[in-house]
Amino acid sequence: MRLKGKTALITGAGSGMGRVATSLFVAEGANVVATDISSVGLADTEALIARDHPEAVGRVQSLTGDVTDAADVERWVKMGVDHFGALNILYNNAGIFPDDDRSVINTDEDTWAKTLDVNLKGVMLCCKYAIPEMQRAGGGSVVNVASFVALVGCTVPQDAYTASKGAVLALTKSLAVQFGPDGVRVNAICPGPILTPLLADLFPSEEEKMKRLNRIPLGRFGLPEDIAYAALYLASDESSWMTGTQFVVDGGITVNYF
C-alpha cells in the first residue's frame, strides 16, 4: 500500500475528483480527513467507501465547512491531527468554475472575487494550517490542483478561473522553496478537460464535442481517475525528489499546436 500509515486531508471530497481520490487514498492505506461544503456529498462519499472498502470505514473522518473560512480550515486540521495523530498529505482539490466566468470585459466583480476566493484563498488557508503540522510530522506532501488553462490561452475564456489557477502555480513554487528544507514537498497538477456532466453540457452537438476532442492527441477527455492517480503519486514517497513542479495530465492538449 502506497500511503499506509499516512494521513491526508482532501478538500472537495464530496464529489468528482475529490470523491475518487478519497476512495483511492483509503484503498492505498491512508487515513483521510474528507472535507467539503456539502454534507450530502460527503455522505455519498462515505457510502462509496462503505461499499467498496468496508475495511477502511474507520479511516475516514468527514468534516463539513468552507475552504474560504479560516476557522473551518483550522478546525479540519486540528480535528484530523487529534483523531489520527498527524497530518502528512494535503490535497487541495476544491475549486469552482462558475458559468458566468468569461472574459474580463464581461465578468462581474462578484464572480471574479468568489472564484479567486475559493480557488486561491482556499489553497492558501489550507496550506497555512496544514504545513505547520507537516513540519511537526517531519515532512509531508502538498498537492495543489491547478489547470492546463494556466499554461495556455483559450479561445473560450474563463478569466477568473484561469487567473486563479495561474496563481496556484506561482504559490506552489514559492511554498516548495520555503518548506523544502523541512521535508515538505509542494507540487501542482494541471488537469486537461475532465469529462464531467458540466463539461458534457458545454457541447450543443456531437460535432462540437468532436471538434474539442480533435485538440486532444490521445483522443478522449480525462477521467477523475486520471487525476486521482497523479495525486496518489505526488502524495506518495515515490515522488520524494519532486517539488515545485507542474505535473501536466492533459492527454497532450497543451502540446497540440493546431
What's the helix, strand, coil split of the chain in %, to 5?
50, 15, 35
Is residue 161 part of the annotated active site? The answer reads yes
Count of all residues that appear for the chain in the document: 258
Pairing verdict, β 140-145 and 89-92: parallel
**Catalytic one of 91, 129, 161, 233:** 161
Vertex 116 angle, CA 170 and 78, to 5°: 80
β-strands 7-10, 89-92: how paired?
parallel
Return the closest-CA partner of residue 54 out of 78, 33, 23, 80.
23
Residue with cell 458540466: 198
C-alpha cell of residue 64: 463539513
Could you give the residue numbers annotated as active site? 161
